[in-house]
Amino acid sequence: MKAIQVCVFGAPDVMRLAELADPEPAAGQVLVRVEAAGVNPVDTYIRSGAYARKPPLPYTPGMDGAGVVERVGPGVTRRRAGERVYIAGSLSGTYAQRALCLESQVHPLPDLVSFAQGAAVFVPYATAYRALHHCARAVPGEAVLVHGASGGVGLAAVQLARAAGLTVLGTAGTDEGLALVTREGAHHALDHRSPDFPERLLERTAGRGPDVILEMLANVNLARDLELIAPRGRIVVIGSRGPIQIDPRAAMSKDATLIGMSLLNATAEELASVHSALVAGLENGTLRPIVRAELALAAAPAAHELVLQPGARGKIVLTPWGES
Ligand code: NAP
């Protein structure tokens, strides 16, 4: 099978298209024919060698994907050959024509959801769900600021929060991003690059600020988030690309809570619960993953450049069997 292989950590072009042997599913494992693989910012951190958890070399990148179950190993009871699935982590990497997964890493993909959309489910939606519900414990009627709403996690958070009965404020840095955030369910879309962003946010929350902030770029925004959060509000740090100085007194004066969150810390029980919710949302149409671009597997280096550029508009996916 064709697969991307990384033999040394470094710049995007360390990802090379290789011919590898097809994996064989052992007991409890499932082999998936990958029709689309999702590209996440974390894939770029791992590939560069900068991420705390490094895979042994050589490795095939990718945690997200969707396709069809090709074969199941002995003892697998919940999945069967021919079933459409989305992949939530794998043993062999998803930037490949086939991926070997544990049975617990594959979940049914409803017919109304395309493979490209299925490749945009796991990391974005599980992260957004865990941040909104498990960490912030958002309650219907509260106001949530999705700070960075035009990307993979942000659009997932907008759809989840809207379906849960929250007042949703979402930010983007381009006109296209703002239109998309509105279309996907935000009651208010705000430009995070605009100098009057804090005033606009306070205007739209009757001067209180949001009860919950889901923060995609904490190293830029956290100090100001602490000024803007409502009394007893919760700020969940989802993304941060460096240090920042904050005034703890701002949190103190409001009984505000600052919560760090990594999807990798979710327990098996938490993940099982999250996937039940996500499959239900995909089935009933409240969750509609947004795909911005579909690129061939060989274009993985370009996809890693693109995913870190400003102007997000949903997910980038790789199509291992296609030429586009
Ligand atoms: P993405 O698709 O690249 O989206 C990035 C988002 O950040 C876009 O909406 C972008 O908007 C926005 N942004 C840019 N500048 C901003 C600013 N100054 N203030 C607020 N938002 C700003 O990335 P993603 O997949 O959604 O992931 C978002 C972050 O979360 C990344 O850092 C990622 O590594 C992290 N993450 C963490 C976990 C976890 O477990 N903690 C899981 C998944 C992702 P514009 O491009 O429109 O400006």
**Token pair for residue 98?**
């086939």
Q: Does 135 sit in the ligand 1 pocket, CB within 6 Å? A: no
Chain segment 284-305, per-residue pLDDT in tens: 999 999 999 999 999 999 999 9
Quote the ligand 1 centre to 203 CA distance (angstroms): 24
pLDDT recorded at residue 324: 47
Q: What distance lies between CA 222 and its chain's CA centroid?
A: 20
Across 28-43, average pLDDT: 98
Chain segment 105-133, per-residue pLDDT in tens: 999 999 999 999 999 999 999 999 999 99
Average pLDDT score over the chain: 97
Quote the ligand 1 centre to 70 CA distance (angstroms): 34
Across 50-67, average pLDDT: 96
pLDDT tier, 178 (very low <50, low <70, confident <90, very high otherwise)? very high
Residue 217 near residue 239, CB atoms below 8 Å? yes
Q: Does 293 sit in the ligand 1 pocket, CB within 6 Å? A: no
pLDDT recorded at residue 322: 85
Quote the ligand 1 centre to 158 CA distance (angstroms): 13
**Region(s) of the chain under CATH 3.40.50.720:** 124-264
CATH number of 124-264: 3.40.50.720
**Region(s) of the chain under CATH 3.90.180.10:** 2-121+289-319
**Token pair for residue 23?**
């994996």
Q: Which residue among 191, 216, 235 has the greatest number of ligand 1 atoms within 8 angstroms of its CB, and so is best to mutate? A: 216
Dist CA 189 CA 204 (whole Å): 10
Annotate 294-312 with DSSP letters as a single string. EEEGGGHHHHHHHTTSS--
Q: Does 154 sit in the ligand 1 pocket, CB within 6 Å? A: yes
Q: Which CATH class is domain 2-121+289-319?
A: alpha beta
**Token pair for residue 275?**
């996937």
Q: Is 263 helix (H, G, I), strand (E, B) or coil?
A: helix
Q: Does 311 sit in the ligand 1 pocket, CB within 6 Å? A: yes
Burial 198-217 (b: 16+ CB within 10 A, else e): eeebeebbeeebbbbbbbbb
Helix residue ranges per DSSP H, 70-210: 115-118, 127-129, 152-163, 175-183, 197-203
Residue 251 near residue 231, CB atoms below 8 Å? no
The minimum-distance atom of ligand 1 relative to the CA of 127 is 42
Q: Does 173 sit in the ligand 1 pocket, CB within 6 Å? A: yes
Residue 200's φ and ψ, nearest 5 degrees, are -60, -40
C-alpha separations of 169 from 4, 113, 192, 212, 312 in Å: 38, 26, 11, 10, 17
Q: Does 128 sit in the ligand 1 pocket, CB within 6 Å? A: no
Across 252-270, average pLDDT: 97
| Radius of gyration from C-alpha coordinates of the chain | 20
The minimum-distance atom of ligand 1 relative to the CA of 314 is 2
Of the CA atoms within 13 Å of residue 49, those in its CB half-sphere come to 11
Dist CA 201 CA 276 (whole Å): 33
